[in-house]
C-alpha cells in the first residue's frame, strides 16, 4: 500500500515528512505546481490518497480517475471539520489537524477497509444543481423538489461529512465526494 500526498501547497508537502516523523518518507509526494509531477500518480485499489488541493477543478479532475472510488481518499480543507468517530472513504479532515492526530489518523486509515458507498440519485442531482450557477429558486421551479427538502438534504450531507458553517466550497467538495459513490 502506497500513500500519495497531492497538493498545490508546497509548504504542506515539505512539512508532512517532518510532522509525521519520517513515517511518510516512503510515500509519493506530488506538487501540482510542478508540471510533470502528476505523472507519478498511479494509485491502485487500497492506496491512501491524501489531497490538499484548493482549486476545485483540479481536485475534481483527479477524483474522477476510475480507480479513486477504490482508494482511501482523504481530502484536506482549509475549513473547520468535525470528525466523526468512524472513518468512511472518501473522508474530510481539516488542514489545522495536529501532527500527532494526523499520524494517528493515517495509522487508522490503513486498517479501514475500502468500500464503495452508495448515494441516492436524488441527493446527487440536488448537489449537481446546487453546484451550478443557477439560483436555488430556479431549480425548484424546474423540479418537483421543494426548497425545504433541498436545504434539509444539504444540511444532512454537510453534517455527515462534518462540515460546519459551510459556504459554496462545501457544496463543491460534497459533490466531488458524492460522485465517487454508486448512485442508486
Whole-number Å distance between alpha carbons of 103 and 79: 20
163/105 same-domain check: no
Last-in-domain residue among 81, 111, 141:
111
8/88 same-domain check: yes
pLDDT given at position 75: 92
pLDDT given at position 76: 92
106/139 same-domain check: no
pLDDT tens per residue, range 102-117: 888 888 888 888 887 8
Identify the band that residue 131 occupies on the pLDDT scale cut at 50, 70 and 90: confident
Q: How many domains does the chain have?
A: 2
128/94 same-domain check: no
Q: Average pLDDT for residues 130-156, to the nearest whole number?
A: 76
How many CB atoms sit inside 10 A of residue 2's CB? 14
139/179 same-domain check: yes
pLDDT given at position 52: 93
Among residues 59, 63, 42, which one has the least CA distance to residue 8?
A: 59
Sign of the CA dihedral 85, 88, 94, 99? positive
pLDDT tens per residue, range 43-94: 999 999 999 998 889 999 999 888 988 999 999 988 888 877 777 888 899 8
71/13 same-domain check: yes
pLDDT reading at 141 higher than 70: no
Whole-number Å distance between alpha carbons of 92 and 173: 9
What is the value of pTM for the model shown? 0.86
Q: Which domain holds residue 154?
A: 118-183
User: Which percentage of the chain shows pLDDT scores above 90?
Assistant: 12
Amino acid at each position: 500500500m502506497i500513500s500519495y500526498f497531492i497538493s498545490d501547497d508546497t509548504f504542506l508537502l515539505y512539512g508532512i515528512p517532518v510532522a509525521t516523523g519520517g513515517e511518510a518518507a516512503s510515500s509519493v509526494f506530488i506538487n501540482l505546481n510542478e508540471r510533470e509531477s502528476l505523472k507519478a500518480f498511479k494509485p491502485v485499489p487500497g492506496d491512501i490518497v491524501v489531497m490538499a488541493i484548493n482549486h476545485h477543478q483540479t481536485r475534481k479532475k483527479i477524483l474522477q480517475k476510475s480507480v479513486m472510488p477504490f482508494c482511501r481518499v482523504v481530502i484536506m480543507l482549509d475549513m473547520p471539520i468535525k470528525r466523526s468517530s468512524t472513518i468512511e472513504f472518501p473522508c474530510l479532515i481539516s488542514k489545522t489537524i495536529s501532527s500527532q492526530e494526523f499520524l494517528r489518523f493515517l495509522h487508522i486509515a490503513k486498517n479501514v477497509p475500502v468500500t464503495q458507498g452508495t448515494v441516492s440519485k436524488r441527493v446527487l442531482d440536488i448537489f449537481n444543481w446546487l453546484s451550478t450557477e443557477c439560483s436555488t429558486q430556479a431549480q425548484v421551479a424546474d423540479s418537483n423538489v421543494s426548497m425545504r427538502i433541498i436545504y434539509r438534504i444539504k444540511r444532512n450531507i454537510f453534517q455527515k461529512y462534518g462540515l460546519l458553517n459551510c459556504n459554496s466550497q462545501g457544496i463543491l467538495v460534497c459533490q466531488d465526494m458524492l460522485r465517487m459513490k454508486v448512485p442508486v
